[in-house]
A and B are shown apart, each in its own frame.
Chain A
Amino acid sequence: MDFELSMEQEILRRTVRSFAEKEIAPVARELDEKEEFSLETCRSMGELGLFGMVVSEEYGGQGMDYVSYIIAVEELARVDGSHAATVAAGNSLGIGPLLYYGSEAQKRKYLPKLCTGRSLWGFGLTEPNAGSDAGGARTTAVLDGDEWVINGSKIFITNASAPNSLGVTVMARTGTREDGRGAELSCILVERGTRGFTAREMHGKMMWRSSNTSELYFDDCRVPRENLLGQRGKGFHQMLETLDAGRLSIGAMGLGGAQGAYELAMRYAKEREQFGRPISSFQINAFKLADMAMEIEAARLLLYKACWLKDRHQPFGKLAAMAKLYCSEVMGRVASQAVQLHGGYGLMKEYNVERFFRDQKLLTIGEGTSEIQRLVIARLIGAI
C-alpha cells in the first residue's frame, strides 16, 4: 500500500492552489454576486492547462492521470465551486464523451480547441421531464437522408451557452430498441450556430452562480449524419459511463469545498473571541473542527482510491458512486457547521463561508442525486 502522491501530483497541487488563490479568489465573490460567467478566468484556467487534463498530448491535452485531474478540481473547489464546476464539467462532461466515443475526425476537430479552454462543450442529458430517469428522454432525432433532424429540449446543461460554448452532445431517441424494450438512444453532436438550435442561459441559481447553466431547444435542427457520436443505440450507455467518471469530479468538488469551508471555520474560530476566549477553545466547537478534519480525511481517501482504481483500469463505478455521495454529504455537514461557527457573520455575503454553504447543495443533486447514488450502490453490493 502506498498513500504517497507522486512528485508531479504534489507540484500540480501547489500550482493549482496558488493559481486559485491568486487568480480566482479575488474575483469569486463578485462573480457570484453578479451571477456572471467570466471568460477571463476561463481563459486563464485554460492557459494553465486545466482543460483536457487526461487527454493525450496528441489532441492538445496534458496526458495526466485521473488522480491529478481530481486534485486540480479539488484545489479549485477549495476556493470557489463555480470555477471548479466549469473545469469539472468541461473535462468530464464536455471533453469526456468526445474523447472516449468520438471518431478520429471528431476528436481532431474538437479536442484541440476544447483543451485550450478557449472553447467549451456541453453534455445534454437532462430534460424538463427526465432527470433521475434520464432514460425517459423525449428529445428525438430522425434520420432524413444524410441528416439528423432533432426536436426537443434539455435543461440544466453546464457550459452550453457561455460566450465560448462551441456545441453540445445531445442524447436523443433515434428509434425503438431491437429487442422492443423501450427507446433506442443515441448521442449526437450539435454545434452552436446550427439552425434550429438555441442555447439560453438560465438565471436565478442559488449556487454555482458564476458557472454557465443552460436550457437547450431543438426545433427541426438538422446536423450531418456523421455527427453521431460512436455507435447508434449506445447513447444511454455512453451517458452512464460518462457519469461514472463525472462522479469523481463531483466528489472532488465536495472534498475541495469541504476543505475550503473547514479552513475558513478554523481560522475564524481561532480569531473570534467570546467570554474572553477564542471560540475554538470551547470544547463543543473544537470537537466540530475535529469531526470536520476526520470526515475530510475519510472523504479524501475514498475519492483518491476510486481515482486510483480508474487509473489502473479496474472497475471503479461502485467507489465512484460512494465517493460522490460521501464527499458531497461531507461538504454539506462541514459547510453547515462552518457557518454555525461563524455565527451571524456566517450568514452575511461579506464572509465567503456563506457561498460554500450555498454551493454545496448542488453536489447532492447534480450528476445523480444522493438518492440515486444510494440506489446505484445498493444494486452494486447486491442488496437489490
Chain B
Amino acid sequence: MNLVVCIKQVPDTETQIKVGADGKSINMDDIKWVMNPYDEFGVEEALRIKADKGGDVIVVGAGPKRVTEALRTALAMGADKAILIEDEGLYGADPIFVGKLLAKAIEPLNPDIVFFGQRAVDDDCGLASSSVAEALGMPQLAVIVKQELDGDTIKVQRPVEGQTNVLSTKLPVCLTAQKGLNEPRYASLPGIMKAKKKPLEVKTLADLGVERDDKIEIAAINPPPERAPGKVIQGETPEELAVNLAKALREEAKVI
C-alpha cells in the first residue's frame, strides 16, 4: 500500500495570534509551529494501516523550510519518507492552489490512500484535500472517524448531526481525518533518533513545474472583538433572580 499523508504546519494552538503590520497576515515573531493536530490523526491511521497491511507511509508538506520540523515529527512517529515542497512564500496561499501543488508531488507516488486532517486549525478552510482529490481524480471521503479496508474497498464512518453516515468506495481515495479516528502516538525518543536517518526530499515549485496561480488572496485579518465582561444577576430569591435574568436578556442582551 502506498499511504500518503499531507501535513500542514500551523501555529501551536496555545500561541496568542497577533495580526501583522500589513493587516493581512499574522505576526510570526513568537510563534511555535506544530503539525496540524488533525493531520496527526492522518499519520496515526496511515501507520496503523501499514502495520496491518504493509506498505510505506510518505508524508508530504508544503511551505517554508521550518515545515521540515513537522515532517520530521511524522517520521519520528514512524513514517518512512518525507517530501517537502519548499517555498518561503507559501504560507497563507490559496488552499486550492496548494492542493494542486501537492497533487503534483503526490501523483508520482501512486497513492492508494491520501490522508488529510479535516481542516487546518489556522485558517480553518479544509479545501486543500478536495483540491487534491479533484486533481488526482479520486473520490474524497471527508471528516471520518472510522475506516475499514477490505481489499480495494474502503468503508468509512462520518458523523453528521447525531447520526453516522456509512460511506464506501474503491481505492485510491482521499480521506480527511476527524477527531475520534484514533489516538495519535507520541514521537518516541528512539523514533526521533531514527527519523534523523530517514529520507526527506526537498522540491521547489520549479521542480514540480508549477507556478503560483492563486485565485483568492487574503484582503484583511481582523482580531476577534474583545469579549465584554460577564454580568452577575442580582436578587435575593430564585423568583427575583429569574425576573432580573429575564429582564437582562430582554432589555440588555436583546435575545428574547
Contact = CB atoms under 8 A, between A and B. Distances in A.
Contacts of A286: none
Contacts of B76: 11, 15
A291 interface: no
The residue in B189, B191, B193 that gathers the most chain A C-beta atoms within 10 A of its C-beta is B189
A377 to B, nearest CB: 33
A8 B193 contact: yes
Contacts of A11: 69, 72-73, 76, 187, 192, 195
Interface stretch (A42-50, A158-166, A246-254, A335-343): A42-50
The contact size tier of chain A is: 10 to 19
A53 interface: yes
Contacts of A57: 190, 193
A231 interface: no
B4 to A, nearest CB: 21
Contacts of A207: none
A86 B72 CA distance: 29
B193 A63 contact: yes
A281 interface: no
Interface residues of B, number: 16
A287 to B, nearest CB: 21
Contacts of A8: 72, 192-193, 195-196
Contacts of B195: 8, 11
B72 A7 contact: yes
The residue in A7, A11, A14, A19 that gathers the most chain B C-beta atoms within 10 A of its C-beta is A11
B186 A53 contact: no
Contact of B69 (A7, A18, A64): A7
Contacts of B192: 8, 11-12, 15, 62
Interface in A10-27: 10-12, 14-15, 18-19
B187 A15 contact: yes
B34 interface: yes
B6 to A, nearest CB: 19
B136 to A, nearest CB: 30
A53 B189 CA distance: 8
Contacts of B153: none
Nearest to A14: B34
B72 A49 contact: no
A15 B74 CA distance: 12
Interface in A37-78: 47-50, 53, 57, 62-64, 72
Nearest to A13: B32
A84 B68 CA distance: 30
Given A8-B196, A14-B34, A50 B189 contact: yes
B188 interface: yes
Contacts of A19: 186
Contacts of B193: 8, 57, 62-64
Interface in A291-315: none
B186 A48 contact: yes
Interface string B56-85: 000000000000110011001000000000
B190 A49 contact: yes
A84 B181 CA distance: 32
Given A7-B68, A7-B69, A11-B76, A62 B190 contact: yes
Interface in B182-203: 186-193, 195-196
Nearest to A52: B189
B186 A64 contact: no
Interface string B154-193: 0000000000000000000000000000000011111111
A7 B187 CA distance: 13
23 contacts: A7-B68, A7-B69, A8-B193, A8-B196, A10-B69, A11-B69, A11-B187, A11-B195, A14-B34, A14-B73, A15-B186, A15-B187, A15-B192, A18-B186, A19-B186, A49-B190, A49-B191, A53-B189, A57-B193, A62-B189, A62-B192, A64-B189, A72-B189
Given A47-B188, A57-B190, 12 more contacts: A8-B193, A11-B73, A11-B76, A11-B187, A11-B195, A14-B34, A14-B187, A15-B187, A15-B188, A15-B189, A19-B186, A49-B189
The 8 closest A-B pairs by CB, nearest first: A49-B189, A62-B189, A15-B187, A49-B188, A49-B190, A11-B73, A15-B186, A8-B192
